[in-house]
Structure formats: C-alpha cells, structure tokens
Amino acid sequence: MKSKDKDISVKKDLLGSEEPDKSSLPDKRQSRLEKAIHMLNKITHRVSMVILFFMMSLTVVDVVGRYFFNNPITGAVELTSLSMAIIIFFSLGMTQIKEDHISINFLTVKLPMKVEESLNVVTSFVIIILLSLTSWQLIVYAQRFGNQTSGDLGIPMNYFAYLAAIGMFFYTLTILLNMINSFTKVVQKNES
C-alpha cells in the first residue's frame, strides 16, 4: 500500500498537482499560471464530455430510428464526425495534466533526476514549437475554409477548425507548464 501512495505522490509531482490549489511551482505568478491552465483545460474537457454524451445519444437515436422506424437522422454521421474533432482536441490538455498520454521512459528513468528533467525541458520545448505551428496552421486552415459548409446540414466548417486550434493552444499551454516545472527542478539546489 505504501508503494502505491508513493507512486501517486511521485506522479502528481511530475507535472504539478491535479488540484490547482496545491501548486508545485514556487512562484505565486507561476501558481496563478498553473491554476489558469488547469481551469482552461478543465472547461474544455467538460465541454468534450458533454459533446461525447450528445454524440452517444445521437448515435443511439439514429440506430433506433433506422432499424425500427426505417427513418435515420439526417446528418448523424456528419455530426458525429465533427463532434469527434472537438472531443479529441478539447481533451488533449487534460490528458496531459493527468499524464494519460502514452510515454516511453524506460531509459530516462535510469538517469539522474536533473538529467531526466533537463531532457524533459528540451523535449517540451520542441513539442511547444510543433504544437504552436499546428495551432497556427489550424487557424490558417479555418480561414481557407471561407464559407464552405458541411454536406448534409450546411454547418460552417471553419468553426470546427477554430475550435481545434483553441484545443491545441490549451494543450500547448499544458506542455509549457510541464516545461516550467521541469526547469524549476533542474535549477533548484539539492536539499539532500
């Protein structure tokens, strides 16, 4: 049981606490930054959960309508596809906060803590650059859509690209928080 508690405390320490009130960052400005990033990602994650429920309900009603009444919902597949884009991009940040992304660290865990955190800083920096470029390109992509609409329902497509860019931006902020936490661990003095 003690090993499980230790594993949980180590896991929470890696990116900061899951509760923004218990910040692992030393500076009050960083604590506010951490709270803001947690709040933004929590909001988008909750929106994605509501959309997932809507998508599930729509699919059930569509299947029941198709098989029992021979009357499917027009645009159900289209709405499901567009909803999936929002669900994915709005959940990325919270997935990073909860450390649910797949990570392969069998080599880096054997390194000293400062070296491991230095590698986290470098990889986080590269990821921030790539995610920033992705956010920017999603905005450019949304602008290229212009007045293009979806096939059956005529929903403007650019809104979904803008929402994806927002989700990607919040994910980028989460990686920035991860980089700040790792950098703080690299520069702080050993207390042992």
pLDDT score, position 29: 60
pLDDT score, position 28: 62
Q: Which residue has the tokens 């499901």?
A: 80
Q: How many CA atoms lie within 13 A of 63 on its CB side?
A: 6
- Between CA 85 and CA 63 the distance in angstroms is 21
Alpha-helix residue ranges (DSSP H) falling in 27-112: 28-68, 76-97
The pLDDT tens digits of the residues spanning 103-119 come to: 787 887 888 888 888 89
- Between CA 94 and CA 111 the distance in angstroms is 27
pLDDT score, position 128: 95
Output the tens digit of pLDDT for each of the chain's 192 residues.
444 454 444 444 444 444 444 444 455 666 888 899 999 999 999 999 999 999 999 999 999 998 888 888 888 889 999 999 999 999 999 999 888 888 787 887 888 888 888 898 999 999 999 999 999 999 999 998 878 888 888 888 889 999 999 999 999 999 999 999 889 888 887 654
- Between CA 48 and CA 22 the distance in angstroms is 25
H/E stretch holding 91: helix 76-97
> Cα angle vertex 100, ends 95, 103, to 5°?
120
Q: How many angstroms separate the Cα of 82 from the Cα of each of 78, 120, 138, 178? A: 6, 34, 15, 30
User: What is the average pLDDT value for the chain, to the nearest integer?
Assistant: 83
Contacts of residue 42, defined as CB under 8 A and 6 or more positions apart, other chains included, come to 94
pLDDT score, position 16: 45
- Between CA 111 and CA 104 the distance in angstroms is 14
